[in-house]
Amino acid sequence: MLILTLTRYERLGSSSRVRFYQYFPYLEAQGIEIVSAPFFKDAYVQGIYTGQTVNPGSILRAYIQRLTTLLNSAKYDILWLEKELFPWLPSWFEIFLQKSRIPYVVDYDDAVFHRYDMHKSTLVRALLRNKIDQVMCHAALVVVGNEYLANRAKQAGAKNIEYLPSVVDVSSYKVKRNDQKSPFRIGWIGSPVTAPYLNEIRDALNLLSHEANINVTLIGSGNIIPFPDIPTTILPWDEELERSIGELFDVGIMPLVDGPFERGKCGYKLVQYMAGGLPVIASPVGINRQMIDSGTNGFLAASTDEWVQGLRMLIHDDHLCSEMGRVGRQRAEQMYNLQVTAPKLLNLFLSAQKVEN
């Protein structure tokens, strides 16, 4: 099988790395030939994360390169798309693929459709509100990372929908040792784009800082310190560093607001924390409710009081931290592990190819 992979980014883009690139070695070992054609290069992502002005010329070249790639797409058995072919353009090209009988598999790990149907511009909503629905409807297979996305695909009329969670290679993650030290390290991993969610727990951390020796450790948040009155360590994101969060954190957190876009998230932070053998605390939004069994592998916290209570219990109970981390690691091995999902993805491609043939 020859697959053309049309990702949004190269490896620096977390969605592309997690949902696509990490599967390449396994698929290629099974005889699948993969040609990768990302829309944006790593330099584009680096520019966004560092606040640099995006060069319009680089964006135009990305569109031209993607169009050029599509002109030669008939030789591939399957096209593997991340979200859509062309951001901010109608679904003409996906419809063309379907009419040309060029099968494509499209993958979603967030509610990208809300960027269009909830856009502040009336014109954007009028032109693109149904775009992702049409992309889903014409796909040979829609792969989704949670139930919220699956429900949207069903409403769109997608004929073939499969669930595949966002995962990590659990064996590559270092497990937290049972040697909790002071200060208690409250850890978060993400990007400057998602860092504003940390504001949701500002009050809880301020309260805790007056009764316990804590440190907030942020990976990938950028240089803005969201908690100026709390000892904070900021580390630049690195692919190797994220596999060591079990040694850097004592607990992993995922605060969110409860909004439509957030309900489409796939809980990747929680997967990483659990793989590192960490207890987790998260807002009860979307898939977080399924991933956390409150009191077993972590806590769901919907208010400042619940955040304080959950963190306080972990700060003062080493055994609870260890036990929750052990359960989380076991859950990650069984449910959110590349070794489990890679064979499933291969079978999905084989099934999609049979259907089209």
- pLDDT higher than 80, residue 200: yes
d(CA 245, CA 293): 21
The pLDDT tens digits for 224-266 are 778 888 999 999 998 889 999 999 999 999 999 999 999 999 9
Which band of pLDDT confidence, cut at 50, 70 and 90, is reported for residue 168? very high
Tell me if residue 253 falls in helix, strand or coil. Answer: strand
Q: Where are the beta strands (DSSP E) in the chain?
A: 2-6, 33-36, 78-82, 104-108, 141-144, 161-163, 184-189, 214-219, 232-235, 251-254, 280-282, 298-300
d(CA 337, CA 167): 5
pLDDT at 356: 59
Question: If you ran DSSP here, which 8-state letter would residue 229 be given?
Answer: T
In this prediction the pTM is 0.93
d(CA 242, CA 217): 12
d(CA 225, CA 142): 39
Going from the N-terminus, what domains does the chain have, and what CATH number goes with each?
Answer: 2-167+338-356 (3.40.50.2000), 170-335 (3.40.50.2000)
Beta-bridge partner residues of 259: none
- pLDDT higher than 80, residue 157: yes
What phi and psi values does residue 47 have, to the nearest 5 degrees?
A: -65, -40
pLDDT at 51: 66
